Each structure stands twice: as C-alpha cells, then as structure tokens.
Structure 1
Amino acid sequence: MRRIPERRVDIGPDATITLEAYADTIVPGEKRWPGDRAVAGVSSGGGAVASGALDLLRWDATGIHDGLEDLAERVNGHARTYADRAGLTLDPAVPPFVSLDYDDRVRLIQELTTPGHPEKDFWVLLSLFCNMAFDSAAHLHTAEALADGHPGLTAMGITKPDADGLWRFRGSGYGRQLADPHPDTTPTGSPA
C-alpha cells in the first residue's frame, strides 16, 4: 500500500500545552507524569492526548493545521475572560486555559460550543478532531496503532488483524446468520 506523504506543522510550546489541555478536556486521560499540567488526570487510562491528538491536529490532512497557534491564542483569551468573570486567579506559569481546573475547562468549552456562539464552528471542529484521535486513530495505520496499544482502539475492543495483516470476522455480527446466501453466490462470496 502506498502512503500519501504527510506534513505536520510545528507549533510552539504554549500552543502545544494549551491544545493538549483542550484535547484532554474532550477525552480525558490519566496524567503522563506527576506534574503534568495539560492532562488533568480525571480519568484512568489514556485519553485524547495519549492517543495522539496533537499529531492528528498538526497533520495537514485536517485542514486546521495552519491555524493551531491562532486557536490556542483564542481559547487562552476566552480562558482569561472566563476567569475574570468567575473571579478565578490564573497561574502565570502556564497558558490561561491550562491554568483552569478540569471543571472550569469543561464549562468554558460548553460555552464555546453552544449554538449561537460566534466561534462555535472552530471549537466543535477542534473537539471532533480531538475525539477522532481517540476513537479512530485516523492519523495512524490501524494495525500499527493496535500493535502499539493505542488507548482508544484498545478501549473500544478493536481486535488485532490476523498474522497476514488482514481482519477476518469468523462470527456474524449478531451472533447468528441473519439470512441464507443467495443460491448463485460463489464459494468466495461473490455474486454469480
């Protein structure tokens, strides 16, 4: 199989940690190390960040790769406004969105994705890509992702392919045959 060349954009450290915090709010996971500020650690196992959300977001196939720095700046601006409104003190050592605790991150994203918000489309799209990294590993070859223990695919019970790299399903999806094959069906399963 020929792979399409891909390009991943580089983003700065503040945009990286901000987008990691955003991704972790969409599909939470456990902290990668004790002082991890981006991943809140409200869930066990790997979430969007461990599933490669930043790799997927930085991939040119998404179409949002060139706007990631701007999205990080925008969500940090919204975090400042949110903190002012809620009377919260932000930690200046990290970007504003990262400084919010998990519940405040969730409330802010709910505001940003609510119908009628003027930037809703940006935040819904960013959220969908973060979720996509976890539930489909769209940025990875499925067999390789499974071999590496991809958290989302593993959590969903996606099975590994057979030794030849192909997936075969020995049982019917409903646990029983739903219909008899057409009488003209060939032994390979093709119509005659």
Structure 2
Amino acid sequence: MDAGIDRRALLRGLAAAVAALPALPALPVLGTGVATAATAATAVTSAYGSWPISTLEAFADTLVPGERRGPSDRAVAGAAAGPGAVQAGAVTLLTAPELPLAPLLPGIATLLDARATSYAVTHLILLPLDRPPFVGLAFPHRTAVVAGLFQSDDPDRPVWQLLSFLVGLAFDTAAHLHTAQALAGGHPGLTWIGFPPPGPDGLWRFPDHSYGRALAAPHPATTPSGSPA
C-alpha cells in the first residue's frame, strides 16, 4: 500500500462501517443525521484541508457520474446528465456519525491520489498543482484508475470494494436518510431511479407483481405469511 497507510486499519474501519449499515435507517430525525454528517465532513476538511473530500467526491462521481454542481466544480467531471453519487449524498453517507469512517477518509483519499499520480507518470499526463491528483485527471483517466483498483491482484481491492458499495448505497437507497423523508425531500438518486413513494400510512406495499403476472403458483403448503412449507 502506498503513502505508508495502514491497510489493516482501513479494512477494519470499512468492515465496521458496513456492519453498522443496518442502524442507519433508525436515525430519529432526518435533519439531525444530515447536520451531524455535515459536521463530520467539516471536521475532516478542517483537519486535513479540502483535498480529501474533493478526492472522495471525484471517486464517487467516477462510479455514479452526474452533472457539475456549478462552473467551478472540479470534483464532479460532468460526464453524465442528471444527478450522480455526489448530488445523492455520497460524502454525507461516508461521514455519517453511525459509521466509523471519518478518521480513515484522509488516508483513503491519499491512497487514491497516490494511484492517480502513478497513473499520470506512467501515461505522461501533466497534473495541475491546484487540486488533488485524482481530481486533476480527466474523466476517462479517472475511470481507468478506478478500473485498475478492482483487479483481482490489487492488494487494496477490498478497500475499494467496500467504499464503492457505500457510494452505491448513497445513490440507490439514500442509506443515510429515512427513505420516506428522502423521497419527500426529492433525493436525487431515488427520484432518478423512480423509487415509488409510500402509501398514505407511510408504508410500502406492492400489490402488483414486478413482471405484471405471477411467475409461479405458490406451493399448497405455503403458510399465510408467505413462508415456505
């Protein structure tokens, strides 16, 4: 592992983060969770500068790309129309107080920037000096770096697998928010994929089969709750 980062510490932290995920929907108030996560992100920025957050945003945007948040946005490459993982709150999830990730994020960002620097040297790419190395890469090159992280012989592959899992959860499930409140607030990911709203009582029920028809007849001994015989 590059930059003297403790791989075991990263893996322990990421594993603990994944283990803590079932607790995320239990956040009592939407605003409280968001505010606390924002505070955690601010703490990371205050301690290490804005580069770690920018690098992590660029990583999230490479996995689920979206449009830029403004003309000065560097982390988001603008490779796709519509919202991406950054707009959906990937960093908010990574810095959620329920996950023990915040202290590890600068190390993960440093590792990713080291990989980006190595890639740039190998491909004779001149990186700008006013932004993190990974952020300084064009989107096709970011994609190439990230693809290399998931090769079977990469020693840090578990780190990137778990981190990408969390990024996907931020977009696909709004894991850092209550689902009903996320939908009410227009969460970019859930809105983009067309996730259905709950019923009037706040619960989800799906009376229609997803394929428009029953795919098989229930076993005659199936219990009323749907459990197999």
- With the shorter chain as reference, the TM-score category is 0.7 to 0.9
Runs of 5+ consecutive residues of structure 1 not aligned to the other structure: none
Counterpart position of 1:77: 114
Q: Which amino acid aligns with 1:3?
A: L
Unaligned runs of at least 5 residues, structure 2: 1-24
Please point out which of 120, 131, 138 is paired with 2:168.
131
Moved more, 50-59 or 64-73: 64-73
Superposed, which structure 2 residues align to 1:137-176 within 5 Å?
137-176=174-213
- SS state of the match for residue 11, structure 1? helix
Q: Distance in 2 between matches of 1:181 and 1:157?
A: 32
Question: Which is bigger in relative contact order (C-alpha 8 A, separation at least 6)?
Answer: 2
Q: CA deviation at 1:122?
A: 1.0
Number of residues of Structure 1 aligned to a counterpart in Structure 2: 189
Structural RMSD (CA): 2.6
Say if 2:83 and 2:192, in contact at 8 Å, map to a contact too.
no
**Normalised by the size of structure 2, how large is the TM-score?**
0.73
After superposition, the Cα gap between the structure-2 partners of 1:72 and 1:170, relative to the gap in structure 1 and judged at 3 Å, is same
**Is residue 2:73 matched to residue 1:36?**
yes
Percent pairwise identity: 41
Whichever residue aligns with residue 164 of structure 1, its letter is D
Matches within 5 A, 1:20-35: 20-35=57-72
- Give the TM-score of the pair, scaled to structure 1: 0.87
Aligned to 2:9: none
2:27 and 2:178 in contact (8 A); partners too? no
Q: 1:107 and 2:144 equivalent?
A: yes
- Structure whose CA Rg is larger: 1
Change (3 A) 1:152 1:94: same
1:53 aligns to 2:90 (yes or no) = yes
Q: CA deviation at 1:161?
A: 1.0
